[in-house]
Amino acid sequence: MSNENLKTVLQEKRTFQPQDHFQKNAKIQSMEAYKEKYRESIENPEEFWANAASELHFFKKWDRVLNAENPPFYRWFEGGKTNICYNCIDRHLDSATRNKAAIIWEGEPGDEVVLTYADLARKVNQLANGLKKLGVQKGDRIAIYLPMIPELAISVLACARIGAVHSVIFAGFSADSISDRINDCQAKITITSDGVWRKGKKLLLKNIVDEAVKKCPSIEKNIVVKRSHKDHFECAMDENKDIWYHDLIENCSLSCPAEEMDSEDMLFLLYTSGTTGKPKGIIHTTAGYMLYSYYTSKYVFDLQPEDVYWCTADIGWITGHSYIVYGPLANGATCLMYEGAPNAPHKGRFWEIVEKYRVNIFYTAPTAIRTFMKWGEDWVNKYDISSLRLLGTVGEPINPEAWMWYHKVIGKERCPIVDTWWQTETGGMMITPIPGCTTTKPGSATFPFFGIDATILDKDGNEQDTGFLAVRKPWPGMLRGVYGDEERFKNTYWSQWENIYFPGDGARRDEDGYFWILGRVDDVVNVSGHRIGTAELESIFVSHASVAESAVIGIDHEIKGQAMVAFVSLREGNEGSDSLIEELTQLVIEKIGKFAIPERIIFTADLPKTRSGKIMRRLLRDIAEGRAVGNVTTLADAGVIDALKEKYQED
Ligand code: WT7
């Protein structure tokens, strides 16, 4: 969290109680009810999660709820057989939900698709059969590089239906990032589209995949969705390797039995950045993830049958996996999905959509809220957004000012706000208000979700008011590993303390027991809610012939939360210049994508180092943020995160 924001957070005293109109229909209506349910979930977790899981469909019931014999390799619902696609679709087909909208999709130019649960069933079954026709089998990996079009949700569900492991790659990643991920998991098939509309422009995606798969011998076929049968998106098709999605599914049967998956069979991989150069493939498995995304959606969004729910994330990130696709559909909810940018063709686009579809629940990122603040409330007030009843945020700490703006301008002081802390690794929300019962404080994620034994520890495992966030008990949605790298799984998450999960965030607990998440304590920077490892950028810079060394740090950014500043020292005989900055920027675009471009690149003769050779990032941050360089910190002031970082990184 930025220092300025942190200061305001540490002084924040306002509280907001749930209002009667929300509370009276809510699933959980009092703090006593929350506390009672929470107590049960912590005292008897197996009974608690077994009860919760009985709301879902298992082909065969589990033998054992939790196997904790070999930590950190926890196994949930062992012996059970289920299918998450079946639970998201088939489970609803015998009820009135059958003909309810599952997905309402709006394209950037305003085209629309509405799919009922029965429609979605047909489309998913057809594609599942199409994949089978290409020889895809249970356990095969499929790389999905699609924009926010209905086929993205359909592809994810079709993979899950037949037990293929999907690895969705956010459509802002470069060809190099795609090939790294494909090669890491040895995917057999890609699913992409000819293009997408982005801010009124056509963005060609298949080209990028073509570039990527040149370096991916494991790829057998590329399935290509035609974004539009009306507008032409330039796209070269190789007749041996490429196949149009619509050709593939033509004549495919509308029914495909859902594979009976073991509870612990792999469901998907999602790559995320860590402290070292290489992104890691986070593994999620079937039953536990299914239950956790279902159950958190149900209680945190307080889903009611008639709700229209909109999460503005991209399915390319975990938020979209858990809270656009799996969680809401497992609940039989109506999910809105939007292709484009919030300012295309105008800055009121989101509110226009809320008005048009009468959206009731809206889930977005603090960086988006700060952007709307900058654009001004006139854009909001042009539309009737009175349908909204619940607001949520995710992805980064929210500063109280943005929280208050969200509360007033979007929520009209009527809607509860759920500030949900979680991670790719946790599968679902971990620390979050429950909207009908939790009194919120602007900037605090409040209390742990059911079954989550969260606390704050120091390096040695002693409880503290300020320190490292920690989770003492396993939970169903937890990651099961890092693909192909067991050591990294153990080292990153389980080596700080014994059998306690280490998320990598700093946190504080106030006198009322509220959790305040302070930001990453490792070298991961959160730019507009996108997680970027500073080491990833550093290794890109040093791959340039002129660069000797590089250190990348995160600094405060008014809109993005954090931005990256790169310090670069050059090899003898080279000089920093605008054209070198341009070259380094191009390298970042090529290796990762535009969203990872640092705010500034600063050439420096040397990097400040400790005697043992460690780069002193805190000093760099002071320089980049224009503060007097110093090392004075006390835990109560804004240096708290830096101080934690230093502790964490001590040898
Ligand atoms: C990191 C995880 C969870 C989906 C989106 C990001 C930060 C996330 C919050 C929040 C403060 C938050 C943490 C976390 N973060 N939500 N409500 N308050 N910080 O997933 O890319 O895996 O990033 O995002 O630092 O560790 P991710």
Structure token digits, residue 391: 């607001």
Question: In this structure, are strands 280-285 and 266-272 parallel, antiparallel, or unpaired?
Answer: antiparallel
Residue 318 Cβ inside 6 Å of ligand 1? The answer reads yes
Q: Is the CB of 307 under 6 A from ligand 1?
A: no
**In this predicted structure, what is the pLDDT of residue 629?**
62
Q: Is 419 annotated as a binding residue?
A: yes
Residue 105, Cα to own-chain centre: how many angstroms?
20
**243 backbone dihedrals φ, ψ, rounded to 5°:** -140, 135
Mutate to test the pocket of ligand 1, among 423, 430, 469, 532 (most ligand atoms within 8 A of CB): 423
DSSP lists the bridge partners of residue 222 as 190, 242
Question: Residue 487's Cα: distance from chain center in Å?
Answer: 24
Secondary structure (3-state) at 490: helix
| Nearest in space to 418 (alpha carbons), one of 363, 477, 360, 366 | 363
With the C-alpha atoms ordered 314, 320, 325, 328, is the resulting torsion angle positive or negative? negative
Q: What is the number of helices (H) and of strands (E) in the chain?
A: 22, 31
Band of residue 457 on the pLDDT scale cut at 50, 70, 90: very high
Candidate of 312, 367, 517 to mutate for ligand 1, largest count of ligand atoms within 8 Å of Cβ: 517
Q: H helices within 301-365, ranges in order?
A: 318-320, 327-330, 349-357
Nearest atom in ligand 1 to 504's CA? 26
Interhelix angle 206-213/175-185, nearest 10 degrees? 50
- Give the lowest-confidence range in 8-12, 51-55, 259-263: 8-12
Question: Is the shortest distance between the CB of 419 and ligand 1 below 6 Å?
Answer: yes
Question: Is 380 annotated as a binding-site member?
Answer: no
14-507: CATH topology: Rossmann fold (3.40.50)
What is the model's pLDDT at position 98? 98
> What CA–CA distance (Å, rounded) separates 417 from 617?
35
130 in Cβ contact with 123 (< 8 Å): no
How much is the pLDDT for 610? 81
Q: Where exactly does CATH 3.40.50.12780 map onto the chain?
A: 14-507
The ligand 1 atom nearest the CA atom of 520? 25
Residues in contact with 468: Cβ distance below 8 Å, sequence separation at least 6, in sequence order:
456, 457, 458, 459, 496, 502, 505, 506, 507, 521, 644, 648
Is the CB of 394 inside a 6 Å radius of any atom of ligand 1? yes
* Residue bearing the CA closest to ligand 1, atom 1: 423
Q: 511 by DSSP, 3-state: which?
A: coil
Token couple for 85: 């696609």
Distance 530 CA to ligand 1 centre (A): 9
How many angstroms is it from 135 CA to the middle of ligand 1? 37
Q: Please choose, from the candidates 296, 239, 292, the residue with its C-alpha nearest in 3D space to the C-alpha of residue 267.
A: 292
DSSP for 437-473 reads: TPPB-TT--BSBPTT--EEEE-TTS-B-SEEEEEE-S
pLDDT in tens, 242-282: 999 999 999 999 999 999 999 999 999 999 998 877 899 99
Residue 109, token pair as written in the block:
């130019």
Residue 272's H or E segment, with its range, is strand 266-272
What is the C-alpha to C-alpha distance for residues 349 and 346, in angstroms, rounded to an integer?
A: 6
- Say whether 320 counts as a known binding-site residue: no
Tell me if ipTM is over 0.95.
yes
Reported as a pLDDT band with limits 50, 70 and 90, residue 632 is very low
- In the chain, CATH 3.30.300.30 sits at 523-650
- Find out whether 593 is annotated in a ligand binding site: no
Annotated binding residue at 46? no
Q: Are 2 and 561 in contact (CB under 8 A)?
A: yes
Nearest atom in ligand 1 to 503's CA: 26
Cα–Cα distance measured from residue 531 to residue 80, given in angstroms and rounded to the nearest whole number: 34
| pLDDT at residue 277, as a whole number | 75
Please tell me if the CB atom of residue 396 comes closer than 6 angstroms to any atom of ligand 1: yes
| Beta carbon of 524 within 6 Å of any ligand 1 atom | no
Q: Give the DSSP H/E element, type plus range, for residue 640.
A: helix 640-649
Q: Is 359 annotated as a binding residue?
A: no
Give residues with Cβ within 8 angstroms of 255, minimum separation 6: 125
pLDDT for res 322: 98
C-beta 428 within 6 A of ligand 1: no
In the structure, what pLDDT confidence band is assigned to residue 634 with cuts at 50, 70 and 90? very low
Mutate to test the pocket of ligand 1, among 502, 508, 531 (most ligand atoms within 8 A of CB): 531
Report, as an integer, the average pLDDT of 487-504.
Answer: 97
CB 505 near ligand 1, within 6 Å: yes
Q: How far is the CA of 468 from the centre of ligand 1 (A)?
A: 14
Nearest-5° angle of CA 60, CA 65, CA 70?
120
pLDDT at 374 over 90: yes
At 154, is the pLDDT very low, low, confident or very high (cuts 50, 70, 90)? very high
Cβ pair 290, 87 in contact under 8 A: yes
Report whether 310 belongs to an annotated binding site. Answer: no
Task: Give the distance (Å) from ligand 1 centre to CA of residue 7.
Answer: 20
Distance 423 CA to ligand 1 centre (A): 5
397 lines ligand 1 (CB under 6 A): yes
Residues 12 and 16: their CA atoms lie apart, in Å, by 12
Q: Which residues of 323-334 are buried (b: 16+ CB within 10 A; e: fewer)?
A: bbbbbbbbbbbb
531 lines ligand 1 (CB under 6 A): yes
572-629 confidence digits (pLDDT tens): 999 999 999 999 999 999 999 999 999 999 999 888 888 888 888 888 888 888 776 6
- Ligand 1 center–CA 505 separation, angstroms: 9
Two tokens, residue 332: 């039989």
Confidence of residue 1 (pLDDT cuts 50, 70, 90): low
CATH 3.30.300.30 given to domain 523-650: yes
Q: Per DSSP, what are the bridge partners of residue 196?
A: 203
Q: How far is the CA of 148 from the centre of ligand 1 (A)?
A: 21
Ligand 1 within 6 A of CB of 301? no
| Measured distance CA(651)–CA(646) in Å, rounded | 10
Q: What is the CA radius of gyration of the chain?
A: 24
Alpha-carbon distances of 535 from 1, 279, 429, 587, 618, rounded to whole Å: 19, 10, 27, 15, 16
- What is the reported pLDDT for 2? 55
pTM confidence score: 0.96
Residue positions counted in the chain: 651
pLDDT at 313 over 70: yes
Give me 446's structure tokens: 């409040």
Q: What are 519-545's pLDDT values in tens digits?
A: 999 989 999 989 999 999 999 999 999
Beta partners for 223?
191, 243
Most confident of 381-395, 518-532, 544-558: 381-395
Q: Is 180 in the pocket of ligand 1 (CB under 6 A)?
A: no
Quickly state the pLDDT bin for 7 (edges 50, 70, 90).
Answer: low
Distance separating alpha carbons of residues 380 and 384, to the nearest angstrom: 8
For ligand 1, whether the C-beta of 554 sits within 6 Å is no
pLDDT for the residue numbered 636:
41
State whether residue 163 is helix, strand or coil: coil
Task: Record the tokens describing residue 344, joined without a space.
Answer: 């295309």
pLDDT > 50? residue 201:
yes
CA of 591 to the centre of ligand 1 (A): 23
Q: Sign of the C-alpha dihedral, residues 169, 172, 175, 177?
A: negative
421 marked as part of a ligand binding site: yes
Binding site annotation covers 520? yes
Cα separation, 411 vs 404, in Å, equals: 9
Q: Which atom of ligand 1 is nearest to the CA of 319?
A: 4
Residue-averaged pLDDT of the chain: 94
DSSP label at residue 190: E
Distance in angstroms (rounded) separating the CA atoms of residues 639 and 626: 14
Residue in the structure block whose two tokens are 């809401």: 328
- Tokens 């029965």 sit on residue: 118
Confidence of residue 182 (pLDDT cuts 50, 70, 90): very high
Ligand 1 center from residue 328 Cα (angstroms)? 20
